[in-house]
Chains A and B, each alone.
Chain A
């Protein structure tokens, strides 16, 4: 069981907006930055969102992150078929242990 809680699956049709939630506690999300990673099938994870809501260069502005209290969310607007992947949230815990969510498999219908 993962320390951060994500829904196991999400889906949407092309062009739709989808959100993925990530729930934690005061010792992890509540007091540390949240990061989001995208893992396309058969590949290594890739940084998607850093420090709660920042996009690395090259990541489309269709992807956005937010954080409130002990929860965070990833939003994907204008959904495209190439967005079909596993998405993971992550944060440090105050015990200096990095924790991940269990991952959300996004399906584009």
Chain B
């Protein structure tokens, strides 16, 4: 059974940093690309970032480019999102999700999602 468990969310001041983690199990982690998707309170889904199965290719939404960094440790079956220069508009539940394919270039979809972790940016 595929399981994705996010952690690391919390309250942070504007301009601060936070690192999210996503522990994966139930599948061969290194064989699949992964993504982060966020959902602001009462709002819709917004894709944040994706990384290939090898970790060699990364992609970002314009809204977070230059501030967020996605990475993965295939030896630990863990996905990360380093978030710097946080803004109030980054407040959201952040979901970790498994891609259908190992390559983002395949342009497939997200077939499993974690339960999410809440990030609140406020002074």
Contacts and interface: CB of A to CB of B under 8 A. Distances in A.
A47 B109 contact: yes
B59 A33 contact: no
Interface residues of A, number: 26
A56 to B, nearest CB: 7
A51 B108 CA distance: 7
A33 B114 CA distance: 22
Interface residues of B, number: 24
Nearest to A49: B109
Contacts of A47: 109-113
Interface string B93-119: 001000010001101111111111000
A90 interface: yes
B47 interface: yes
A28 to B, nearest CB: 10
A90 B113 contact: no
A96 interface: yes
Given A33-B108, A43-B115, A102-B44, 7 more contacts: A33-B109, A44-B114, A45-B113, A97-B47, A99-B47, A101-B44, A103-B44
Interface of A: 2, 32-33, 35, 37, 39, 43-47, 50-51, 56, 86, 88, 90, 92, 96-103
17 contacts: A33-B107, A44-B116, A45-B45, A45-B95, A47-B113, A50-B109, A86-B44, A90-B45, A90-B109, A96-B104, A96-B105, A96-B107, A97-B61, A97-B62, A98-B50, A99-B47, A103-B44
